[in-house]
Structure 1
Amino acid sequence: MCGIAGYMHADPDKQIDPDQLVAMAAIQYHRGPDGFGYHVMQDRGVGFSHARLTIIDLDENRGRQPFVSEDGNLMLAMNGELYDYKRIRADLTSRGARFRTKSDSEMVLHLYPQKGLEDMLPYLRGEFGISLYDKERDRLILIRDRFGVKPLYWTEQNGQFVFGSELKVLFAHPDVQRRFNARGVYHQLMQTVVPGSTAFDNIHQVKPGHAVIVERAHGRFKIRDFKYWDMDFPTMEERGPQLEDDYDEAEYIEGVRRELLEAVQLRLEADVPVACYLSGGIDSCAILGMSAATQQSPVKAFTIGFDDADYDESAIAREMAESVGADQDIMMLNAGHLYDNFEETLWHAERTIYNTLGVAKLLMSRHVNQAGYKVVVTGEGSDELFSGYPAFRMDLFRHGLDTLPEAERAVMQQMLAESNKLFSGAMLAEDEYDDPALDKLVGFTPSCLQPWLAASEHVAPLLHPSLRKEVEGYRPGTAIAEALDGDMLEGRHPLDKAQYVWIKTMLEGQILTWGGDRVDMANSMEARPPFLDHHLAEYAARLPVTMRIRGRTEKYVLREAMRGLLPKVLYEREKFAFMAPPAHTDPKKWAAMKALADRYLSDEAIEQAGILDPAGVRALFEKHENPETSASTQVQLDAVINHMIGVQVLHKHFVQTDVPAQARAKAKELGWAA
């Protein structure tokens, strides 16, 4: 729920502009259309604002943020949800805490003074971006949830520390520069972003599972970052007999069922109706099945269908909905129309996208909102916990085969050549790609990064000569490796390493951004992913390898845990990637993409933006249309074309446009004023 914003001066005697705070809230109106609030501590040179989406405590005035503690020492603005809050509130109340709202967010104001920052963090269960100012210690704290479900950005410029839920919130402040970073553009064009970075100069993300603490001394900021949680897999030594299948299978199946059920039940808690996203995959079907089992009335289930049979899962989703008596709503999409909403999607995503799935998700969230829902539970995170992606199986085959029992090795070897053709070029590289820095850190180059590292070879010729010079000799794999925590990789099983790298790169930088929060909140719709509950994740980290991948079956333990809820066809089904059809697979979609390219990739448009090289762009299109180019390479080039259009659109939205003026105009349009 909601969007947060704020800024602080390095000099506490400088004044905060309330109108500026309101404008920063207004530009993220889509995150919180149900009201706004702001609070300023002028004697400390700090102010917060908040755009509210009412989900818990619907009282218009009582739940309005920012919250200020009774003693005036703490100021809080929060985005997201904290679960199990009723139990924690009751405990805090018994210890003397006095709550003024029914909000889950308010408990932070009571946990922090009682527990202190580090001891408070384990109590925060959910998806959140938190800003907390401690007047007594004169420190600002930003906290992001463990997997990065909710976004949170910050920058230090011109003696000010500025933060917000979206990049455009920072850009709404007139002192924040809106300028592309050469390496940031490089990564936008190759898809995989360096953890914690953005496409723009001096604009940072709070990393998942991290807190950023900002203090002031002698007119300067002291900024430090610390990690409070990570996906900590056991070492090979700690796994011990697990590697020889010496374990109780039933215990793990029951454990997954127990932890997932609790995570689902917590995420159904709301003061508004909660629906489900339902694809034809085991993940969302499991969530729907558990949701239906815990509620007396039929669950509302929303499904996306595509007009391309190779990518459409609506038939299986319909079977699942019927099996649990859900009220299903199927929105069929024509692939040729997805590019009609490409620009709008990028304004919300604030990064480039390789596939129009993000557009489809934006259209779905709009449909859900129009149907009267603000909250859905979703299946994101299951593949990350239970090894659902083809890349994981590939890494297990290439680097962990000798750790498996003999029978498992034989099955794995037989499967190597049977990868789903739909993944080729997008989820698996056509040829194995080795990066020296990743090989050194991880022991191998994870398969999830290989197609994008391979795509990076197309990037340099696409860049404007001035940017190309800045990235001369740059190694994207090295930058990614340097952003990963080697302690979390050392001594781990190859499958654990592969999952860890995916979680730190693809999950946070792709699935949870333009496939998740950003396109859901574009239409004021909050998505809750039970699989990313950290209690479930910590349990899943201990699962034996063969409980995750068992012969031909990925996510084995989840299938067994959900066997009673799933239709037979789904229980037996192999992993299918939920994505929109690539442009070149459909003449109408290719024509729609080319029409957008004609606008944004013309020589004139490229020259005006100064990001790309028109000759390089033309050469890439020629390669794509060459009859000798393989289908796998075409999929890869489809992605690069989307990224090229994307950086041009981002330039229009956030560099060429006067964002501060846009934000103030939005505040005026809404009637929001200080």
Structure 2
Amino acid sequence: MCGIAGIFHREPEKPVDPQLLANMAAIQYHRGPDGFGVEMMNGKGVGFSHARLSIIDLNENRGRQPFKSADGSLLLAHNGEFYDYQRIRTDLTSRGARFRTKSDSEIILHLFPRFGLDETLRRLRGEFAFALYDAKEDALHLVRDRFGIKPLYYHASDEGVVFGSEIKVVMAHPAVPRRFNNQGLLHQLMQVMVPGTTAYEGITQVKPGHVVTFRRQGLGYEIQDRPYWDVEFPDASFHQGPKSEEESSETVREGLTEAVRLRLEADVPVGCYLSGGVDSCSILGLSAAMRQQPVKAFTIGFTDAAYDETPIAKEMAAATGADQDILRLDANALYGHFEETIWHTERTIYNTLAVAKFLMSRHVREAGYKVVVTGEGSDELFAGYPSFRRDLFLHGLDDLPETERRRWEAMLGESNKLFKGAMLADDELDDPFLTDRVGFTPSCLQPWLACEETARDVLNRDRLGLLADYKPGHAIAERLDRAKLDGRHPLDRAQYVWSKTMLEGQILTWGGDRVDMANSMEARPAFLDHHLAEAATRIPPLHRIKDRREKYVLKEAMKGLLPKTLYEREKFAFMAPPATTNKDKWSAMMELAQDHLNDQAILDSGLLDGAGVRRLLAEAQSENTSRARLVQLDAMLNHMLGVQILHRKLIATDIPALAAERARSLGWIVKEPAVA
């Protein structure tokens, strides 16, 4: 895993400043502290830079990127991992390819000329984002992996294109604006983003499973944004008729085993994240079986017992003989590192779990590990969230007997009470635009759509006026592909919407890459192997959730590896405790609020309304506020702190100057030729 950056001028004769490229690499030093490189193509108006985290091919000089093809026509900068690359290398070598490094990245330079971009992407397996400039076509391709595990952003203007692995990398170019857009700001306060957007004016992200191509034509260039992969559930009729549970379990077992095996390959030690959930326990169990030696298992523990999963994690670690390392976190630790976490996430967070994961990735690096295998993606594939059970019950079980219906209603009423207001809405909400597009308003979006009124109440009055006719639900619905929704089973539709919104916009950003790579630590989510995902979409909905048990098929597939306690228990959402229900955490949050939510700070940023902020704080301290509302207000307070911190750190800070200073302090100074 690494950080990439680049510039593509509209005018090919315009030279690219190599030091600016080095500065863009330096501001993402945390993504790649093991070295950097700068490479340009003379007379083409294009240049890339790369900050390297060495995982495969540890030779500093041999594995240095950006890479040029042997004939000089291709320029590549790659972030991520291509699994199964050794088999691909063997095949390419038999076709006459001659490799200059042991890097997995180099396969692109041999696949692309032989097969073209579409076939190249079909053969790639893993999590990745890369930029490829093709001099023969005079075209720049920006590519992001199928689920959006690795980030990639760009700014396109009349002058050309600036891209990078993080928003601050793009902002390090002095021509890129640094300001919020009003729609993005509202969505930051509501938590859920419109797919493919950011909160920043003029900065776009490459969508998961997409290629964005910039091709020079005449005096300008054209932009083509197209998908090369998407989550594809079958028509609902595919699930009709009896299906074998054993076959479904075997499909999961085989697919996950292969995915874990591939992700254990590295030239450095590989550990595992271990919570008390079936996902990470399955990963650890498989890893231990393959390694046949103790696996290092890293666990987050919270001092609030209601949110702590370490007892089950300990049981799993003991069962596998893992070398367990538990990091316990309290309120002061979580809010004491809130600002630092926001600098890396570049978006707001509704829960301090992001801070916990940031601190854990630091702890992992300090323990001497660069790579861990994680359990993200399991809930998405096998319907693990309480929102999925609710949607299945409400929209996919019309023929339930009355006695069973009452059991479902009782279970849903009791399920995850701790998380009402965040993961589940307190009351049902119907958004007409989403209902038109999906057939119903997915439960996963309801708690955040329910925040719209509160978000508008705390928004700056001038900005609010410009959003009078804006409908967040409509904006989200318009980005959902109707062709992937129509005719699908209701549970499939709910899972598809989650994958396009919460998975990419939350779990894989502030819960994944951004807080992991903040400490130069690579996380590998085995469940998001696309071969496994494609197989999972064809597993019957009632094998994913059976008899009110979520992730039934996964538990059956991993039954021999899981402790009995975990196999039998209900899904427990992994979250940090909210500040609004915890006295110590509230005090820690208010220390930050004194700095970022005071009248002068609010006036300086121009993002929030002081009176609205005061009303929300008063409601959060009222004894008459329900627990579900307190959980919702906790999220809103975190979002308000987040936008204020983002303004101070990204908008009000001179990012180009900061990037230049980082480069000087690191000694990343480019002299001709333009390679450090």
Contact 1:76–1:132 (8 Å) recurs in 2: yes
1:171 corresponding residue in structure 2:
171
Q: Deviations over 1:52-106 (max 9, x none)?
A: 0000000001100001000000000000000000001000100001111111110
Residues in 2 aligned to 1:189 and 1:413: alpha-carbon distance in whole angstroms: 31
Residues in 1 aligned to 2:179 and 2:154: alpha-carbon distance in whole angstroms: 15
Deviates more, 1:28-37 or 1:583-592: 583-592
Task: Specify whether residues 253 and 572 from structure 1 end up closer, same or farther in structure 2 by C-alpha distance, changes over 3 A only.
Answer: same
2:84 corresponding residue in structure 1:
84
Task: Specify whether residues 373 and 411 from structure 1 end up closer, same or farther in structure 2 by C-alpha distance, changes over 3 A only.
Answer: same
**Structure 2 residue 591 is matched with structure 1 residue 607:** no
Contact 1:408–1:551 (8 Å) recurs in 2: no
**Structure 2 residue 647 is matched with structure 1 residue 651:** yes
Residues in 2 aligned to 1:140 and 1:42: alpha-carbon distance in whole angstroms: 15
Q: Deviations over 1:250-277 (max 9, x none)?
A: 1111110000000000000100000000
2:531 corresponding residue in structure 1:
535
Q: What TM-score do the two structures reach when normalised by structure 2?
A: 0.98
Aligned-pair CA distance for 1:129: 0.4
Contact 1:7–1:162 (8 Å) recurs in 2: yes
Residues in 2 aligned to 1:530 and 1:407: alpha-carbon distance in whole angstroms: 39
Residues in 2 aligned to 1:514 and 1:411: alpha-carbon distance in whole angstroms: 36
Aligned-pair CA distance for 1:179: 1.1
2:615 corresponding residue in structure 1:
619
Residues in 2 aligned to 1:640 and 1:58: alpha-carbon distance in whole angstroms: 44
Q: How large is the Cα RMSD of the aligned pairs?
A: 1.1
**Structure 2 residue 551 is matched with structure 1 residue 555:** yes
Give matches, 1:294-443, under 5 Å. 294-402=290-398, 411-443=407-439
Residues in 1 aligned to 2:509 and 2:330: alpha-carbon distance in whole angstroms: 23
Residues in 2 aligned to 1:303 and 1:459: alpha-carbon distance in whole angstroms: 34
Task: Specify whether residues 230 and 409 from structure 1 end up closer, same or farther in structure 2 by C-alpha distance, changes over 3 A only.
Answer: farther
Give matches, 1:7-406, under 5 Å. 7-241=7-241, 246-402=242-398
Task: Specify whether residues 102 and 483 from structure 1 end up closer, same or farther in structure 2 by C-alpha distance, changes over 3 A only.
Answer: same
**Corresponding letter in the other structure for 1:92:** L
Contact 1:6–1:48 (8 Å) recurs in 2: yes
SS where residue 276 of structure 1 aligns?
strand
Residues in 2 aligned to 1:31 and 1:84: alpha-carbon distance in whole angstroms: 23
Residue segments in structure 1 that go unaligned for 5+ positions in a row: none
**Corresponding letter in the other structure for 1:342:** F
**Structure 2 residue 477 is matched with structure 1 residue 481:** yes
Residues in 2 aligned to 1:552 and 1:265: alpha-carbon distance in whole angstroms: 31
Residues in 2 aligned to 1:424 and 1:609: alpha-carbon distance in whole angstroms: 31
Residue segments in structure 2 that go unaligned for 5+ positions in a row: 671-676
Contact 2:188–2:347 (8 Å) recurs in 1: yes
SS where residue 33 of structure 1 aligns?
coil
**Structure 2 residue 538 is matched with structure 1 residue 545:** no
**Corresponding letter in the other structure for 1:294:** M
Task: Specify whether residues 632 and 595 from structure 1 end up closer, same or farther in structure 2 by C-alpha distance, changes over 3 A only.
Answer: same
Contact 1:157–1:175 (8 Å) recurs in 2: no
SS where residue 637 of structure 2 aligns?
helix
**Corresponding letter in the other structure for 2:570:** E
1:3 corresponding residue in structure 2:
3
Aligned-pair CA distance for 1:240: 2.6
1:591 corresponding residue in structure 2:
587
Residues in 2 aligned to 1:343 and 1:329: alpha-carbon distance in whole angstroms: 26
SS where residue 491 of structure 1 aligns?
coil
2:627 corresponding residue in structure 1:
631
Residues in 2 aligned to 1:158 and 1:495: alpha-carbon distance in whole angstroms: 44
SS where residue 550 of structure 1 aligns?
coil
Contact 2:389–2:548 (8 Å) recurs in 1: no
Contact 1:397–1:416 (8 Å) recurs in 2: no
Residues in 1 aligned to 2:112 and 2:372: alpha-carbon distance in whole angstroms: 30
Q: Deviations over 1:310-360 (max 9, x none)?
A: 001111101100101110100111123311100000000000000000000
Aligned-pair CA distance for 1:406: 8.8
2:565 corresponding residue in structure 1:
569
**Structure 2 residue 505 is matched with structure 1 residue 509:** yes
Residues in 2 aligned to 1:40 and 1:148: alpha-carbon distance in whole angstroms: 27
Aligned-pair CA distance for 1:415: 2.2
Residues in 1 aligned to 2:438 and 2:413: alpha-carbon distance in whole angstroms: 24
Aligned-pair CA distance for 1:567: 0.8
Residues in 2 aligned to 1:397 and 1:238: alpha-carbon distance in whole angstroms: 20
Aligned-pair CA distance for 1:460: 1.4
Residues in 1 aligned to 2:399 and 2:167: alpha-carbon distance in whole angstroms: 44
SS where residue 620 of structure 1 aligns?
helix
Aligned-pair CA distance for 1:520: 0.3
Q: Deviations over 1:364-408 (max 9, x none)?
A: 000000000000000000000000000000001111112669996
Aligned-pair CA distance for 1:158: 4.5
Aligned-pair CA distance for 1:566: 0.6
Residues in 2 aligned to 1:307 and 1:668: alpha-carbon distance in whole angstroms: 42
Residues in 1 aligned to 2:400 and 2:177: alpha-carbon distance in whole angstroms: 53
Residues in 1 aligned to 2:380 and 2:134: alpha-carbon distance in whole angstroms: 36
**Structure 2 residue 461 is matched with structure 1 residue 465:** yes
Aligned-pair CA distance for 1:237: 2.1
Residues in 2 aligned to 1:40 and 1:420: alpha-carbon distance in whole angstroms: 54
Residues in 2 aligned to 1:52 and 1:420: alpha-carbon distance in whole angstroms: 42
**Corresponding letter in the other structure for 2:630:** Q
Residues in 1 aligned to 2:42 and 2:402: alpha-carbon distance in whole angstroms: 69
1:673 corresponding residue in structure 2:
669
Q: Deviations over 1:134-178 (max 9, x none)?
A: 000000001101111000001113512010000000000001010
Residues in 1 aligned to 2:141 and 2:399: alpha-carbon distance in whole angstroms: 43
Residues in 2 aligned to 1:201 and 1:324: alpha-carbon distance in whole angstroms: 49
SS where residue 665 of structure 2 aligns?
helix
Residues in 2 aligned to 1:307 and 1:3: alpha-carbon distance in whole angstroms: 35
Residues in 2 aligned to 1:571 and 1:424: alpha-carbon distance in whole angstroms: 24
Aligned length: 670
2:673 corresponding residue in structure 1:
none
Aligned-pair CA distance for 1:216: 1.0
Residues in 1 aligned to 2:447 and 2:194: alpha-carbon distance in whole angstroms: 15
Contact 1:425–1:451 (8 Å) recurs in 2: yes
**Corresponding letter in the other structure for 2:205:** Q
**Corresponding letter in the other structure for 2:469:** G
SS where residue 8 of structure 1 aligns?
strand
Task: Specify whether residues 407 and 488 from structure 1 end up closer, same or farther in structure 2 by C-alpha distance, changes over 3 A only.
Answer: farther
1:500 corresponding residue in structure 2:
496
Contact 1:378–1:530 (8 Å) recurs in 2: yes
Q: Deviations over 1:456-501 (max 9, x none)?
A: 1111121112211111121100000011111110000110011000
Contact 1:80–1:127 (8 Å) recurs in 2: yes
